[in-house]
């Protein structure tokens, strides 16, 4: 029997399962994305909350193991409005793209920082943090891009103009749509937040990169944003 004790984890999805139980998806530091049964959890007086780091223990012989114990190892956190939708969006990306059972400790740390800091940022800072996280996710999955050099091996220049070629990278173009400074900022994200035009460029770039990974099934969080005539 497998038995894991006190694994740092975030709950990223839940649904009802066999009467009083819940089927829970966690993103853990040491075991990546895992799915566990929480038996009798629907009738419990204490409920597992998303967007708080937990310490979980689980055990079982089969692929679908049981949550045996959990406790909160994080400060109370309540996300509302756009912050909540952005966090749900990030959770959806993890559920759709992260394979079960593979360790992503670096991405786990990036996720924790994103969730922890999201309600302390300005609107543009939140959008930039989201673009950075999307890039980190794709990097960890093996779909990263070279933001230092173009596809011809030349260093990307901050004042240069570039276009994106899928599955290859960036190519210098006199009428390119992407300013080199925006690409260089991705690898040094502590620099100044890009302009609204720069943020829009990054959003379009990441959409193009994520589309073949996500397929045609729409994300529910994006539908929530569209209600407010906005888009992620």
For residues 218 and 125, state if they share a domain. yes
Number of domains comprising the chain: 2
Structural domain boundaries, residue 53: 2-72
For residues 49 and 87, state if they share a domain. no
For residues 106 and 171, state if they share a domain. yes
Specify the pTM.
Answer: 0.90
The residue among 40, 72, 104 that closes a domain is: 72
Supply the DSSP symbol for 98: S
51: left (phi over 0), alpha (psi -120 to 50) or beta: left
Contacts of 42 (CB under 8 A, 6+ apart): 16, 19, 20, 21, 22
What is the distance, to the nearest Å, from the Cα of residue 169 to the centroid of all Cα atoms in its chain? 22
Tokens representing 35 are: 């799915």
Q: pLDDT digit of tens for each residue in the chain (232 aa)? A: 788 899 999 999 988 887 778 899 999 999 999 999 988 776 665 678 899 999 999 998 878 889 999 999 888 888 999 999 999 999 999 999 999 989 999 999 999 999 999 999 999 999 999 999 999 999 999 999 999 999 999 999 999 999 999 989 999 999 999 999 999 988 776 667 888 999 999 999 999 999 999 988 888 777 666 555 566 7
What is the CATH number for 99?
1.20.1440.120
The residue among 53, 72, 91 that closes a domain is: 72
The residue among 72, 93, 119 that closes a domain is: 72
Q: 3-class DSSP state for residue 22?
A: strand
């Amino acid at each position: 029997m497998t038995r894991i004790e006190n694994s740092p984890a975030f709950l990223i999805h839940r649904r009802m399962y066999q009467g009083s139980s819940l089927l829970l998806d966690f993103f853990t530091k040491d075991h990546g994305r895992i799915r566990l049964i929480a038996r009798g959890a629907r009738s419990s007086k204490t409920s597992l909350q998303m967007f708080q780091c937990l310490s979980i223990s689980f055990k079982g012989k089969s692929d679908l193991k049981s949550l045996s114990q959990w406790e909160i190892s994080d400060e109370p956190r309540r996300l509302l409005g756009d912050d909540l939708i952005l966090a749900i969006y990030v959770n959806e990306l993890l559920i759709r793209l992260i394979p079960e059972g593979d360790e992503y400790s670096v991405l786990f740390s990036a996720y924790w920082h994103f969730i922890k800091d999201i309600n302390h940022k300005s609107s543009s800072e939140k959008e930039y943090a989201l673009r950075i996280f999307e890039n980190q996710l794709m990097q960890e999955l093996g779909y990263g891009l070279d933001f230092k050099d173009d596809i011809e091996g030349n260093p990307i220049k901050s004042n240069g103009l570039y276009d994106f070629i899928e599955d290859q990278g960036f190519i210098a173009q006199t009428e390119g749509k992407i300013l080199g400074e925006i690409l260089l900022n991705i690898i040094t994200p502590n620099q100044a937040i890009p302009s609204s035009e720069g943020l829009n460029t990054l959003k379009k770039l990441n959409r193009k990169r994520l589309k073949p990974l996500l397929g045609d099934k729409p994300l529910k969080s994006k539908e929530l944003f569209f209600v407010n005539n906005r888009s992620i």
